[in-house]
Amino acid sequence: MTDLAVGAVAGTLAPRRRFVLLRRLAAHRSFQIGLVLVLLLALAAIFAPFLTSVDPSAMKVRFRFRPPSAAFPFGTDNFGRDIFTRVLYGARVSLWIGLVVAISTGVIGAAIGVVAAQFPRLDPYLMRCMDALMSFPAILLALGVTAALGPRMESVIIALAVAYVPAGARIVRASALVVRELDYIAAARIAGASNFRIMIRHILPNSVSPLLVHVTFVFAYAILAEAALSFLGVGVPPPTASWGNIIAEGRDYATEAWWVMLFPGLGITLSALGLNLLGDGLRDVLDPRLNWRG
């Protein structure tokens, strides 16, 4: 009988290549820049109370329409409120909305996508529902939901999540359909695994990489959409500051106090840019072609 001594026939194992993906991610230029941007904004939002001692709603009518200066780095609005403080607190709201929408879109989209791929009889019904949702422009959908539930931050989150789930579901479903045909799924079936186990342990983890990329973009879309909704008056209601409603309120006197719209606008732009760069990096690194060795 041949010697099955360890290593003698099969050969030694190559030195470990750990965290290959993470290392590649860390070396990716776009990812680095995007990460820095997003982290800076997130930290600014989290530490807002330490960066400014002013109350965002405090009105100092004597100081209305002051341009940016040492005392008011971003100037003041028509109520004399410090824009710098409002933008920082607004970051909390806008980024939070973006984050929650992104995560819930991801989770719900993944669930729907995997179930649709695994149960061909449910598939058409689920996908037609998704198609129906997708055919509404996101803003209109959001308007409808907010009208039904009343203007609150939670309404905005729900509305945007509903608008963005279908795309996520389609992405995961497409991946899952491919994964389903792979040999290791057949192997699990031969091992006696139930449909549920196969879905959760095998199909789901292997179908979500494209979703990860999509979710970072949804984060950015959500921030932009919140701004649009607030602009239309159906976003986060005042006096709570969000980037969107600061811009909305500043619209009326845009020519006199341009700084009121500029700085929250910059916030939106930078966060959307940062998230897009993050997403680009993720997409490049997670590209399955790059994972083949030799």
Partner 1 sequence: MSALVSIDKLTVQFRGDRGWVNAVEDVSFDIGEGECVGVVGESGSGKSVTALSMLRLHPRGAARFPSGSIFYAGVDLLRAPERDLRAVRGRDIAMVFQDPMSSLNPVLTICDQICEPIRLHQGLSQAAARRAAIELLDLVRIPDAARRVDEYPHRLSGGMRQRAMIAIAIACRPRLLIADEPTTALDVTIQAQILELLRDLRAELGMAVLLISHDLGVIAEFARRVVVMYAGRIVEDAPVDVLFNAPRHPYTEGLMASMPPLEGGADRLYAIPGRIPDPDEPIPGCRFGPRCPHLEPVCRTSAPELVAISETHRVRCTPRSRPGALC
Partner 2 sequence: MDALVEARSVEMTFASGRSGRRANIHVLRKISFDVGYGETLGLVGESGSGKSTIGRIVVGLHEPTGGSLKLFGLALTGPNRKANLSTVRSRAQFVFQDPHAALDPRMRAGDSIAEPIDVAGGHTRRDRNDRVKELLGLVGLPHDAAERFPHEFSGGQRQRIVIARALALEPLFIVCDEPVSALDVSMQAQVVNLLMDLQDRFGIGYLFIAHDLAVVRAVSRQVAVIYAGAIVELAEKNAIFASPLHPYTRALLDAVPRPDPSRVRNRVIVGEVPSLISPPPGCRFHGRCPHAMPKCRVDEPVLRETSPGRLTACHLYGPS
Site for partner 2 in 15-44 (CB under 8 A): 16-17, 20
Structure tokens at 173: 């479903």
80 conformational bin, left if phi > 0, alpha if psi -120 to 50, beta if neither = left
Binding part of the chain for partner 1, among 14-22, 32-40, 94-102, 272-280 by CB under 8 A, reads: 14-22
Q: Report the candidate in 244, 29, 202, 30 with the shortest Cα–Cα distance to residue 117.
A: 202
Using only C-alpha atoms, the chain has a radius of gyration, in whole angstroms, of 24
**Sign of the alpha-carbon dihedral angle for 234, 238, 243, 247:** positive
Give the whole-angstrom CA distance, residue 223 versus residue 96. 9
Q: Using an 8 Å Cβ cutoff, are 88 and 44 in contact?
A: yes
Q: Using an 8 Å Cβ cutoff, are 107 and 208 in contact?
A: no
Give the whole-angstrom CA distance, residue 84 versus residue 266. 12
| Residue 215 C-beta: closest distance to partner 2, Å | 18
Give the whole-angstrom CA distance, residue 279 versus residue 210. 10
Q: With contacts defined by CB under 8 A, how many residues of the chain interact with partner 2?
A: 35
Q: Using an 8 Å Cβ cutoff, are 30 and 273 in contact?
A: no
Site for partner 1 in 18-57 (CB under 8 A): 20, 23-24
Residue 70 binding: pick among partner 1, partner 2, none (C-beta 5-8 Å cut-off by kind): none
Q: Is residue 239 reached through a cis peptide bond, with omega within 30 degrees of 0 on the bond before it?
A: yes
Site for partner 1 in 216-245 (CB under 8 A): none
Report the first-to-last Cα separation within the chain, whole angstroms.
Answer: 33
CB atoms < 10 A from the CB of 67, how many?
Answer: 12
> Applying CB under 8 A, does 191 fall inside the site for partner 2?
yes
Interface residue with partner 1, options 4, 6, 16, 17 (CB under 8 A): 17
Give the whole-angstrom CA distance, residue 81 versus residue 84. 9
| Residue 190 C-beta: closest distance to partner 2, Å | 5
Phi, psi dihedrals of residue 76, rounded to the nearest 5°: -130, 165
Interface residue with partner 2, options 121, 135, 192, 196 (CB under 8 A): 192
Phi, psi dihedrals of residue 58, rounded to the nearest 5°: -65, 125
Residues in contact with partner 2, shown as a per-residue x/- string from 248 to 277 under the rule CB under 8 A: ------------------------------
> Applying CB under 8 A, does 6 fall inside the site for partner 1?
no
Residue 150 binding: pick among partner 2, partner 1, none (C-beta 5-8 Å cut-off by kind): none
> Applying CB under 8 A, does 192 fall inside the site for partner 1?
no
Residue 206 binding: pick among partner 1, partner 2, none (C-beta 5-8 Å cut-off by kind): partner 2
Give the whole-angstrom CA distance, residue 202 versus residue 187. 11
Residue 190 binding: pick among partner 2, partner 1, none (C-beta 5-8 Å cut-off by kind): partner 2
Nearer to partner 1, 4 or 190 (CB): 4
Residue 23 binding: pick among partner 2, partner 1, none (C-beta 5-8 Å cut-off by kind): partner 1
Binding part of the chain for partner 2, among 60-68, 83-91, 158-166, 199-207 by CB under 8 A, reads: 199-207
Nearer to partner 2, 19 or 258 (CB): 19
Site residues, partner 1 (CB under 8 A): 2, 8-12, 14-15, 17, 20, 23-24, 294
Site residues, partner 2 (CB under 8 A): 1-2, 4-14, 16-17, 20, 182-184, 186-194, 197, 201-202, 205-206, 291, 293
